[in-house]
């Protein structure tokens, strides 16, 4: 008989932060000021996408259509398979968008948490 571990010993990630790094930057230094998207997983495994309110000032005009298309795709995929989307976003590296941080509790990352308080939900 197969048994299931309903109490995993390893903490599960509950948030990820995605950073915008323009391709024109040779050796980017990670910085929270470039985080443009936070993805928060709630207790029911639902996802909440939070966007930087100054997205259009952070993202270069040449990259903006691509980033906006990705965001639209994320919004649709949340409805179809939130668990799979979250797993993919936790290790994303596509175009100028990269996973910057993944963690169990966003409050354990004070720099990201402070930024998160400014972000707004996207739908």
Q: What are the residues whose beta carbons fall under 8 Å from the beta carbon of 122, sequence distance 6 or more?
A: 49, 50, 51, 71, 75
Query: Is residue 46 in some structural domain?
Result: yes
* Residue 6 belongs to a domain: no
Report yes or no on 9 lying in a domain. no
Number of structural domains (the chain) is 1
pLDDT confidence of residue 14: 92
Q: Is the pLDDT of residue 30 over 80?
A: no
Decide if 111 is inside a domain.
yes
User: Which among 37, 14, 10 has a CA at the least distance from the CA of 96?
Assistant: 37
Q: pLDDT tens digits for 61-82?
A: 999 999 999 999 999 999 999 9
Rounded Cα gap, residues 119 and 8, in angstroms: 31
Give a yes or no: residue 65 inside a domain. yes
The pTM score is: 0.85
Residue 102's pLDDT band (boundaries 50, 70, 90)? very high
User: Does residue 5 lie in a domain region?
Assistant: no
Range 114-117, long-range pairs (CB < 8 A, 24+ positions): 115/32, 115/35, 115/38, 115/52, 116/38, 116/50
**48 CB-near residues (< 8 Å, 6+ apart):** 39, 40, 41, 42, 121
Domain of residue 63, residue span: 15-121
Domain membership of residue 40 (yes or no) is yes
Residue 4 lies inside a defined structural domain of this protein: no
| Cα dist from 87 to 59, 62, 70, whole Å | 24, 28, 16
């Amino acid at each position: 008989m197969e048994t299931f571990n309903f109490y995993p010993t390893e903490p599960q990630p509950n948030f990820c932060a995605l950073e915008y790094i323009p391709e024109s930057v040779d050796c980017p230094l990670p910085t929270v000021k470039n985080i443009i998207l936070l993805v928060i997983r709630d207790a029911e495994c639902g996802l909440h996408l939070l966007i930087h309110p100054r997205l259009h000032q952070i993202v270069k005009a040449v990259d903006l259509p691509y980033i906006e298309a990705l965001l639209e795709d994320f919004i649709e995929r949340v409805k179809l398979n939130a668990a799979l989307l979250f797993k993919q976003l936790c290790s994303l590296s596509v175009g100028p968008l990269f996973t910057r941080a993944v963690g169990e509790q966003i409050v354990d990352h004070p720099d990201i948490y402070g930024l998160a308080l400014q972000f707004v939900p996207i739908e």
